[in-house]
């Protein structure tokens, strides 16, 4: 089966750094995506990891360890607008070659002044 | 990335009725997907909308309940049939994912409430 775990909620302070973890147990793992979803809005793409290591994009970085089934999203210099849900999603090799996404339950991040 | 328009943006429906949601993209895309997001939950894939052939449904979702059309490379519809309060959700279409490393991009969703 497929299992993706994230903390349900996190709270952090404006200007700080926060790390959101995601662990997965999936057969045929291919790669891992992070999405941001503000309340009442559609998810937007943040990052993608397929190889082990860190991918950096401005204030956001994402890390993957395939051997440990583990990823994290690191948000630096937190801003109030970063208050949102962060969704971890994996793609797997299956009967088709398309990037079908399996989502974790999402982590709701609240940034406080 | 492609501009994705979903209609309606929200609706309130009576139990037992059906509603068709439209997803229009401003460019031709190979892959289109339909997701459900129940209140306070994450996204669950309903089906992959295949152009010119029947949709591919995920476990727990059936064609009779969620018929999907994909008449061309820019348009798809999802019908939620014989609705019950449990169908109250946000329904989202997405495009992309042509390969494993291509991100999907989402429409704004349809917020559906069943009375």
- According to the model, what pLDDT value does residue B24 have? 97
Amino acid B67: pLDDT? 97
pLDDT of residue B99: 74
pLDDT value at position A59? 96
Whether residue A105 and residue B101 make contact (CB cut-off 8 A), yes or no, is no
CA–CA dist B12, B16 (Å, integer): 12
* Chain B interface test: which of A1, A42, A84 (most B C-beta within 10 Å): A42
Q: How far apart are CA B34 and CA B23, in angstroms?
A: 9
CB contact under 8 A, A87 and B43: yes
Pairing of strands A107-112, A9-13: parallel
Q: Which residues of A touch B44 (CB under 8 A)?
A: 103
Q: What is the pLDDT of residue A76?
A: 97
Q: Are B23 and B8 a contacting pair, CB within 8 Å?
A: no
Q: Do B100 and A99 touch (CB under 8 A)?
A: yes
Measured between beta carbons, which residues in chain B are less than 8 angstroms from residue A99? 31, 96-104
Residues of chain A with pLDDT under 70: 1, 94-98
Query: Taking a C-beta distance cutoff of 8 angstroms, is the pair B78, B23 a contact?
Result: yes
Give CA–CA dist A106/A87, Å, rounded: 4
Quick one: which of B54, B40, B49, B41 has its CA closest to B94? Answer: B49
Question: Which tokens in the block code for residue B57?
Answer: 């449904």
Please answer yes or no on whether A101 and B43 come within 8 Å at the CB atom. yes
pLDDT per residue rounded down to tens, chain B (115 residues): 789 999 999 999 999 999 999 999 999 998 899 999 999 899 999 999 988 888 999 999 999 999 999 999 999 999 999 999 999 999 999 998 777 778 889 999 999 999 9
Written as six digits, the tokens of A97 are 């070659």
pLDDT value at position A98? 65
Identify all chain B residues contacting A100, using CB atoms and an 8 Å cutoff: 33, 45, 48, 97
């Amino acid at each position: 089966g497929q299992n993706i775990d994230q903390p349900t909620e996190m709270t952090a302070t404006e200007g700080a750094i926060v790390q959101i973890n995601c662990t997965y147990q999936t057969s045929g793992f291919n790669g891992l995506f992070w999405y941001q979803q503000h309340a009442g809005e559609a998810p937007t793409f943040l990052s993608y990891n397929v190889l082990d290591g860190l991918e950096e994009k401005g204030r956001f970085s994402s890390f993957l360890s395939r051997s440990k089934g583990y990823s994290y999203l690191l948000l630096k210099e937190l801003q109030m607008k970063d208050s949102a849900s962060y969704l971890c999603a994996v793609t797997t090799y299956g009967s088709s070659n398309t990037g079908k996404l399996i989502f974790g339950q999402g982590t709701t991040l609240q940034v406080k002044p | 990335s492609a501009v994705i328009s979903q209609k309606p943006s929200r609706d309130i429906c009576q139990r037992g009725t059906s509603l068709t949601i439209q997803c229009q993209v401003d460019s031709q895309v190979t892959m289109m997907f339909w997701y459900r997001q129940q209140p306070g939950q994450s996204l669950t894939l309903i089906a992959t909308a295949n152009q010119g052939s029947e949709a591919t449904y995920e476990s727990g979702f059936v064609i009779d309940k969620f018929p999907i059309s994909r008449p061309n490379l820019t348009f798809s519809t999802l019908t939620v049939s014989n609705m019950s309060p449990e169908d109250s959700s946000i329904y989202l279409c997405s495009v992309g994912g042509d390969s494993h490393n291509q991100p999907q991009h989402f429409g704004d969703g349809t917020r559906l409430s069943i009375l």
